[in-house]
Amino acid sequence: MEYHVDVAVIGFGKAGKTIAMKRAKAGDKVVVIEQSPEMYGGTCINIGCVPTKTLLHQVREYAAAATLNDTPLDGQTIWDNAKAHRDSLIAKMNSANKAMVENAGATIVDGQAHFLDDHTLQVGDTVVTAETIIINTGAIARTLPVPGGDHRLVVDSTGIQQITTLPKKLVIIGGGPIGVEFASLMLPLGVEVTMLDAADTFLGRIDQQIAPAVLEHLKQQGLHYVGGAQVTAVEGAATADEVTVVAEVDGTTQRYAASLVLTAIGRIPATDALALENTSITVTDRGAIAVDAQCRTGVDGVYAVGDVTGAPQFTYLSFDDHRIVLHDRWGIGDVRSREHRIIPTTTFIDPPLSTVGKTTAELDEAGIEYTTRSAAVADIAVMPRPKIVGQSQGNIVFHIGTDDQILGATLWCVDSQEIINTVVLAMQANVPATEVGNLIVTHPSSSELLNGVLG
């Protein structure tokens, strides 16, 4: 079968599916190529943001109910219920995303796409030629490059979501946001969690005025954290129910027993199967597709968006990429660029940890003058919501420039994933910190931290 189309999108992720729907509704002939029906909707919906946050929420709700009712906490039952809820939700969202794309008028082609030339793709026995191609293949988990790294008890962030029996001892290799979130997920279930972090500093990209307190909070929940740990092997018979993770720590060899090992050592752009050697598309030394500020690959009409470009791996950046491409290719919307984007982040521990802008270390290294306004959440008198919901732990840090502009913020508190977006808007619109501190906000709400810290 052959398709001659206006737009071909490779991958069902946020940017790609949004472009596909909008161009199909505009009258273009569009195909969306997806290697697996299980991934309709993209990584975020099926194996990333949505399912993991669903598990986190469900586990916390069930654990809180057990505490409230003074009943024994049965981690396995909680996991079973949380996983069932997750599976039901994801099945519905997967189906809904397929329907949305098809109802918009686009055609879905199942299978792995690879390039025959700059504007021709092969998917099984199907050949697709397109004037515009959007490469939207995302990223995949980095495998553990040590002997035993492929043991059946070694899983990635997708595999751990599918386990049916909770491990007694979980070793997490990697101390970034993914590893920290899964530690936060497993600890309330009674799992013994050890985190082996190659970095010497916990959450080194987070402002170190707050990161140590976050680590202490996780330790109080039972986390065994080992920094500066270089994993060298995973040992155990293929059929064993337990393995040993071997690591070099402070010049000595340490061994950690595990009934499950989670590798959370990063994700790499998914480009290997695309046969880019048949094209003029450039790939970086890290395997990402090289693009400019408008997501252009250098081949006319061929764009790459989202994680496959090596950009920070956030769904909302992929969504912004779709706006960039719509304007650059079709003149739709305002002129946009990947340059100078103000990017918030949230690590969904309990309470969530959110950031935007520069940290103390980054400002000091750049020689930028600033002042810091900070407070412990429990000490912000004008913000009672954390006490109301029983989550008064946390800290707030704002860095303010000499012109009263917000240069960076780290919010570790209940609802921080929402409040950080107000800070992003203020930074983007150049609203002075004083004005942000004088905002009239609802009460009781976590947004009152703006009044308490900046007012």
> Is 159 flagged in the annotation as binding?
no
**Which token pair is 241?**
């129910």
**Is 180 a known ligand-binding residue?**
yes
Residue 390 marked in a binding site: no
- Report yes or no: 102 and 74 within 8 Å, Cβ to Cβ: no
Judge whether 307 is annotated as a binding position.
yes
Residue 175 annotated as lining a ligand binding site: yes
- Tell whether 384 is in a known binding site: no
386 annotated binding-site participant: no
The beta-carbon contacts of 271-278 under 8 Å, at least 24 apart in sequence, are 271/137, 271/308, 273/35, 273/112, 273/113, 273/114, 274/10, 274/113, 274/114, 274/115, 274/135, 274/137, 275/114, 275/115, 275/116, 276/115, 278/114, 278/115, 278/116, 278/117
Paired tokens of 84: 């069932």
Q: Identify the helix (H) or strand (E) that includes residue 418.
A: helix 416-428
Half-sphere exposure of 43 (CA within 13 A, CB side): 23
Q: How many residues does the chain have?
A: 455
Residue 443 designated active-site: yes
- Is 174 assigned a ligand-binding role in the annotation? yes
Do the annotations mark residue 177 as ligand-binding? yes
In sequence order, what are the residues at sequence separation of 6 or more whose Cβ sits closer than 8 angstroms to the Cβ of residue 88? none
Q: Could you please report the per-residue DSSP string of 326-349? A: HHHHH--SS---STT----EEE-S
In the set 85, 114, 322, 443, the catalytic residue is 443
Who's near 430: CB < 8 A, 6+ residues apart? 405
Annotated binding site for NAD(+): 174-181, 266
Annotated binding site for FAD: 53, 307
Catalytic machinery residues: 443
Annotated binding site: 53, 174-181, 266, 307
